[in-house]
Amino acid sequence: MSMSTKSAVIAVLVGATWLTGCVTINIYFPAAAAEKAADRIIDEVWQLRDDASPINGAQKEGEAK
Amino acid sequence: MTILNTLRVAVGVLCLSLAGLAFAQGNLEINTPAISALQQAMQQRHAQLAPMYGSGAVGLARDGTVAVRDASSVPLAQRGQLNALIAAENADRAALYREIARANGHPEWEAEVRTTFAKRWVERAQSGWWVQGAGGWTRK
């Protein structure tokens, strides 16, 4: 095996390991995105967007003053 | 040496594009017919559950479900109805967590989706509602 072939093989192996690492990002649970999704669903289920929420209501009143 | 460099560049570009893909997934998919249907059913049920949360009969449990906390405030005749309501809500919640994990191509995420929801239900509960923490039930 010539020197350059060996280098190429090593490069491919290193690259493959690297790629696996990159793909792993996708397998980790996206906690922030899940929290956002949960909030959107909770808004809907508890009807918090149509100022049913006392917190939102208070904020709006505060802004009006 | 040129092969090596070409490979390096190719791998680098691939890696960057994959990282970009992961980054672009800032949102979880929640717009599926199954999720929408569950959401709507839960929203309708909330009209019945909200007074129960307020009275303390029902609380938000730390495992992402709802639980009977103090049935004494509910007349005996209505307790069967209360249990049915809780069971229906918990069935929908379990299905919701499962569907979100599935809709995003990772059914194994179900437990983590549930944990995330459990935390947010509790954090966003209105004042006066009962929530379950590590130390037991507390009133917000």
Beta carbons of B121 and A42 less than 8 Å apart: yes
Which residues does chain A have within 8 Å of residue B26's beta carbon, measured at their own beta carbons?
Answer: 32-33, 36
The reply to whether residue B39 touches residue A45, judged by beta carbons under 8 angstroms, is: yes
Q: What is the extent of the structural domain holding A7?
A: 3-64
Residue B26's pLDDT is what? 81
Q: In what order do the strands lie in the sheet with B66-68?
A: B66-68, B58-60, B130-133, B136-139
| pLDDT over threshold 50, residue A56 | no
Per-residue pLDDT reduced to its tens digit, B31-88: 999 999 999 999 999 999 999 999 999 999 999 999 999 999 899 999 999 999 999 9
Instruction: Pick B4 or A41 by higher pLDDT.
Output: A41
Instruction: Specify the range with the lowest mean pLDDT, choosing from A8-12, A59-63, B127-131.
Output: A59-63
State whether residue A33 sits within 8 Å of chain B by CB. yes
C-beta atoms of B11 and A18 within 8 A:
yes
Q: Please tell me the distance from the alpha carbon of residue B34 to that of residue B86, in angstroms, as a whole number.
A: 20
Give the confidence band of A62 by pLDDT, cuts at 50, 70, 90: very low
For residue A64, the distance in angstroms to the closest alpha carbon of chain B comes to 23
Q: Look at residue A58 in the predicted model and tell me its pLDDT.
A: 43
Q: How far away is chain B from the Cα of A39, in angstroms, using its nearest Cα?
A: 7
Chain B within 8 Å of A17 (Cβ-Cβ)? no
Nearest to A23 among B18, B26, B35 (CB): B18
Smallest Cβ–Cβ distance between A33 and the set B28, B42, B96 belongs to B28
- Give the pLDDT score at A1: 64
Q: Which residues contact A42 (CB under 8 A, 6 or more apart)?
A: A48, B117, B120, B121, B124
Task: Say which residue, A54 or B2, is predicted with more confidence.
Answer: B2
Looking at the structure of chain A, the number of domains it has is: 1
The phi and psi torsions of B40 (rounded to 5 degrees) equal: -70, -40
Does the pLDDT value for residue B92 go beyond 50? yes
**Closest-approach residue (CA) in chain B for A8:** B4
CA distance B28 to chain A (A): 6
Q: Give yes or no for residue B89 having a pLDDT over 70.
A: yes
Q: Does A2 touch chain B (CB under 8 A)?
A: no
Residue A55 clears pLDDT 60, i.e. is over it: no
Provide the residue ranges of all domains of chain B, joining segments of one domain with +. Answer: 30-139
Q: Please state, rounded to an integer, the average pLDDT across all residues of chain B.
A: 90
ipTM for the predicted complex comes to 0.82
Nearest CA to A47 among B84, B13, B39, B108? B39
Cα–Cα separations (whole angstroms), residue A2 to A7, A10, A16, B124? 9, 13, 21, 65
pLDDT of A6-15, one tens digit each? 888 888 888 7
CA dihedral angle for residue A33, residue A39, residue A41, residue A43, rounded to 10 degrees: -150
* Other CB atoms within 10 A of residue B78 CB: 12
Question: Does residue B131 or residue A49 have the better pLDDT?
Answer: B131
Residue B130 scores a pLDDT above 60 = yes
Nearest to residue A57, comparing CAs of A48, B124, A45, B47? Answer: A48
